Structure 1
Amino acid sequence: MTALQAISPIDGRYHSKTKKLANYFSEEALIKYRVKVEIEYFIALIKHDLPQLKNIDSNIFNQLRAIYQDFSTDDALAVKETEKVTNHDVKAVEYFIKEKFDALGLDESKEFIHFGLTSQDINNTAVPLSLKEALEEVYYPEIQNLIDKLKELAENWKDIPMLARTHGQPASPTRLGKEIEVFVVRIEEQLQILKNTPAAAKFGGATGNFNAHKVAYPDRDWKAFGTTFVEKDLGLKHSFPTTQIEHYDYMAACFDALKRINTILIDLNRDFWSYISIDYFKQKIKEGEIGSSAMPHKVNPIDFENSEGNLGIANAIFEHLSAKLPISRLQRDLTDSTVLRNIGVPIGHTIIGLTSTLKGLNKLLLNESKLHQDLEDNWAVVAEAIQTILRREGYPKPYEALKGLTRTNEKITAVSIADFIETLDVNEDIKKELKVITPQNYTGI
């Protein structure tokens, strides 16, 4: 299959942006993570001093770990061939590892691969582990690149006055850098929530009670073993008690957090799209690039539009994942299994969205004269400042006085504001204080 034949644009049109995710969410990656969990579990059993494994020297641990560290596409294909016979993906992994054990001279210990486990002990550790590492190694660096760019723009434009628009109408002036900083803080706060959300895993046998472990070795503390294995060896949070499967509450929280960040980015995309549409920004022109097949003059804000579209798709899937995964009939049904295979899809669309927003930001050229002109055309916005000072001075009905001046169809200018100030029954110092207020300097803190 080529990129031109891919059904999903994640693996087709946008493959260059998402190909790193194959290391975490492809079928080959899932098999590799399963092999890793099985190998680390076997090593943990050796460390747990089971009598039947006491003769295995720890010097072989590196060779065992090489089974998943050196896992190849050919290995994955071998597992899939076995799966055609077993019709069970995790059992195929177990048989693959048993063949590797034969080569290592561990044939007498093969039955301790997958000892006492159900397939969900492997899936419900492999999947959250892959998600955790994908976030750490792909998503967090990408979102940080975007945050860094926004911080750079916020600093560069911190002193640029800008007409604010509430309800789409001219409002009290603000500063361009501050409006960008709003998005920086929003993203960083939600990102912290995401980072504080544990990656949880189920590990406890067929129905979560370590039944098989306890019946085989009744004197061992298998709950403590499971927690140590999941939290110390794999770096996940051990969910206990559970049914046969992880309850996915933390994974749902993770997807909800990702969705909130995407929603903030959609908000950002729409704002910059709007700023471009009112000519606050021009866009860098790339040689040979065409904005419209019919209108040669056009330079469209396509990166912000591309991002908005991809983040919207991502959020729709995140919404389904977080709503569906925590629900399972009785001690388990299989619906979580098929849904979990799709978690790379919204991550992929999210990465595309992040990179598109960053690309759009890097094209921006500030049209400062347009921002200045908009402020000059809207002197009415200083009315708030004037009436507030008049309130301070105890002037009678200052709001009503300014309302009468500004809510007309006549254009309010610097001259009409100055003329109005001269009509006020206040001392000259107050008039001077009022006259220095302009749309450019009435920007707050």
Structure 2
Amino acid sequence: MSSFDSYSSPLSSRYASKEMSALFSPRTRYSTWRKLWLTLATAEQQLGLDTITDEAIAQLKDHVEITDDEIRAASEQEKIVRHDVMSHVHVYGIAAPAAAGIIHLGATSCFVTDNADLIFLRDACDILIKRLVNVIQKLSEFALQYKDMPVLGWTHFQPAQLTTVGKRATLWIQELLWDLRNISRARDDILLRGVKGTTGTQASFLTLFDGDHVKVEELDQLVVELLGFKGAYPVTGQTYSRKIDIDVIGPLSSLGATAHKMATDLRLLANLKEVEEPFESTQIGSSAMAYKRNPMRCERVCSLARHLTGLYQDTVQTASVQWFERTLDDSAIRRVSIPSAFLTADIILSTLLNITSGMVVYPKVIERRIMSELPFMATENIIMAMVQKGGDRQICHEHIRVLSHQAAKVVKEEGGDNDLISRIKSEPYFEPVWAELDKLLDPSTFVGRAPQQTEKFVNVTVASALEPYKNLIVSEKVELSV
């Protein structure tokens, strides 16, 4: 049967990076199980178990990377025994016959499945952190480039006071920095389940070491050290607590909210024709409307972000229904939701990296929109200037109120341009400030401290946050595969 005859997840087949797809692949999973069995045997031998020979260790080491044929053989064995871990114990034993009798010695299935999952959580966070750091870096460069460019601000998606293109970008960056903090914190908190036995009591290992509690504790610590972790959870049931999944997937869900907000802003800006995502020379926007430049990258981000934020509920619900030392209704859903969360976050960040590497700004459109609203915003400045020339504030307010309503009627009812300034220039009452009107309408005087805020934020706050990750920053542009 062709591979085109069965469903495959678009997360891995269409969108996700090779790096993240490989991490959650069967080969990585089963090879990691073998690494765990090798580590356990090595630690047990070092602590005095004579039944584990050097030959056994050598054979386990020689076959720690599983082959295609062995994956197929384990799959066939699982059809017989209905147990995935024991199927792989059987196949590993065939590859390493000198170790066949000591593979999985004293362990329960969760020694390999749960410890492997914790390794995957840690390594997957590392992949995301690298992507996120580079999105923040690209967006920071954009913010500095456009820190001085005035743009119409929006509240309630209604015209508001001016900001700058760069200052608006800092709002996205700030949330991404929080996501970096949250994902890094969750990553650094991940420990191993360690060597705990069937219900977490280490009873089987206590038997192996003839009741020597110190040796059992040393075994737990040695396995942790050999696997490069800083520690193991001090107590577990058969599994590590599924609240750990909440702690890790929660920050990914929060990242989804950040990404959705940023991508939505860019979609709205594309409609306003002020800022657009990259658009390739051969890209087709619509099969019917050849002129269109649809924001498909941002739409992809929004679409997948909704999926990512929803996966958080899987972890919460699963953790809440674990009975006593464990129940198996966590297994199937975790096989789906945890890889899905990381693959989805990986796709979102890769797409954002592509977007932030090539955003296009249209200054003339931005300027035209500013000037369509600025006359109304400048009325207070004009009143103040008239008062300085000796005018009465209340009389001036009434004059400008009448002219403003006349101009608003032209805009709203007649579809014309905002002609308030022309009306002011035609009104003799305002002659004392006619020469100052251009200065009073300079957009740069309406942006407050936006340029200074942007520069300080990027050069101080962002620079400080990215300092620990500076070796992860790369310069190349990320291309979308599809």
* Pair 1:405–1:46, CA change in 2 (3 A): farther
Match of 1:165 among 129, 147, 154: 154
Deviation larger for 219-228 or 72-81: 219-228
2:252 — aligned with what? 258
* C-alpha contact 2:278 2:355 (8 A) present in aligned 1: no
Deviation larger for 326-335 or 357-366: 357-366
Secondary structure at the aligned position of 2:192 is classed as strand
1:344 — aligned with what? 339
Deviation at 1:97, TM superposition (A): 2.9
d(CA) in 1 for partners of 2:123 and 2:278?
A: 36
* Pair 1:307–1:283, CA change in 2 (3 A): closer
Deviation at 1:415, TM superposition (A): 6.1
d(CA) in 1 for partners of 2:45 and 2:404?
A: 82
d(CA) in 1 for partners of 2:404 and 2:61?
A: 75
Residue 410, structure 1, aligned to residue 391, structure 2: no
Deviation at 1:62, TM superposition (A): 6.4
Deviation at 1:256, TM superposition (A): 0.6
Deviation larger for 408-417 or 84-93: 408-417
Task: Show structure 1 runs of 5+ residues with no match.
Answer: 391-395
* Pair 1:175–1:128, CA change in 2 (3 A): same
1:199 — aligned with what? 190
1:366 — aligned with what? 361
Residue 274, structure 1, aligned to residue 268, structure 2: yes
d(CA) in 2 for partners of 1:81 and 1:267?
A: 47
CA deviation string 1:365-397 (max 9, x = no partner): 21101111111111223467789999xxxxx99
Residue 121, structure 1, aligned to residue 111, structure 2: yes
d(CA) in 2 for partners of 1:346 and 1:389?
A: 58
* Pair 1:39–1:406, CA change in 2 (3 A): farther
Match of 1:181 among 146, 158, 170: 170
Alignment of 1:196-345 (within 5 A): 196-197=185-186, 198-203=189-194, 204-217=196-209, 218-221=211-214, 222-230=216-224, 233-235=227-229, 237-281=231-275, 285-325=279-319, 327-342=321-336, 343-345=338-340
1:65 — aligned with what? 61
Deviation at 1:269, TM superposition (A): 0.4
Deviation larger for 204-213 or 1-10: 1-10
Deviation at 1:101, TM superposition (A): 3.2
Deviation at 1:232, TM superposition (A): 5.3
* Pair 1:233–1:353, CA change in 2 (3 A): closer
d(CA) in 1 for partners of 2:441 and 2:109?
A: 71
d(CA) in 1 for partners of 2:346 and 2:248?
A: 16
Deviation at 1:303, TM superposition (A): 1.1
* Pair 1:407–1:329, CA change in 2 (3 A): farther
* Pair 1:88–1:236, CA change in 2 (3 A): farther
Secondary structure at the aligned position of 1:202 is classed as coil
* Pair 1:141–1:2, CA change in 2 (3 A): farther
* C-alpha contact 2:133 2:180 (8 A) present in aligned 1: no
Secondary structure at the aligned position of 2:152 is classed as strand
d(CA) in 1 for partners of 2:384 and 2:37?
A: 70
Deviation at 1:359, TM superposition (A): 3.3
Secondary structure at the aligned position of 2:444 is classed as coil
Counterpart of 2:180 in structure 1: which amino acid? L
* Pair 1:86–1:383, CA change in 2 (3 A): farther
Counterpart of 2:448 in structure 1: which amino acid? G
Residue 78, structure 1, aligned to residue 62, structure 2: no
CA deviation string 1:221-276 (max 9, x = no partner): 22453244235524264122121111122221110101111210110000001011
* C-alpha contact 2:308 2:344 (8 A) present in aligned 1: yes
Deviation at 1:11, TM superposition (A): 3.9
CA deviation string 1:295-330 (max 9, x = no partner): 221111111111211221122223323442453012
What is the percent sequence identity of the aligned residues? 19
Figure out how many residues of one structure are paired with residues of the other and give that number: 425
Residue 142, structure 1, aligned to residue 131, structure 2: yes
CA deviation string 1:187-238 (max 9, x = no partner): 1222122111122332311110111112332123224532442355242641
1:6 — aligned with what? 7
Higher relative contact order (CA 8 A, sep 6+): 2
d(CA) in 1 for partners of 2:254 and 2:277?
A: 28
* Pair 1:283–1:263, CA change in 2 (3 A): closer
CA deviation string 1:157-193 (max 9, x = no partner): 1211111000111111111111112212211222122
* Pair 1:434–1:22, CA change in 2 (3 A): closer
* Pair 1:280–1:4, CA change in 2 (3 A): farther
d(CA) in 2 for partners of 1:79 and 1:384?
A: 78
d(CA) in 1 for partners of 2:384 and 2:124?
A: 53
d(CA) in 1 for partners of 2:58 and 2:269?
A: 57
Secondary structure at the aligned position of 1:172 is classed as strand
Secondary structure at the aligned position of 1:238 is classed as coil
2:32 — aligned with what? 33
* C-alpha contact 1:40 1:65 (8 A) present in aligned 2: no
1:393 — aligned with what? none
* C-alpha contact 1:382 1:438 (8 A) present in aligned 2: no
d(CA) in 1 for partners of 2:171 and 2:225?
A: 37
d(CA) in 1 for partners of 2:20 and 2:59?
A: 27
* C-alpha contact 1:383 1:406 (8 A) present in aligned 2: no
CA deviation string 1:5-41 (max 9, x = no partner): 4342224443xx3443332223333222211111111
2:413 — aligned with what? none
Deviation at 1:401, TM superposition (A): 5.7
* Pair 1:233–1:26, CA change in 2 (3 A): closer
* Pair 1:283–1:433, CA change in 2 (3 A): closer
d(CA) in 2 for partners of 1:275 and 1:409?
A: 29
* C-alpha contact 2:43 2:222 (8 A) present in aligned 1: no
Task: Show structure 2 runs of 5+ residues with no match.
Answer: 387-391, 409-417, 450-482
* C-alpha contact 2:381 2:440 (8 A) present in aligned 1: no
Q: TM-score, normalised by structure 1?
A: 0.83
Deviation at 1:281, TM superposition (A): 2.7
d(CA) in 1 for partners of 2:86 and 2:161?
A: 66
Secondary structure at the aligned position of 1:378 is classed as helix
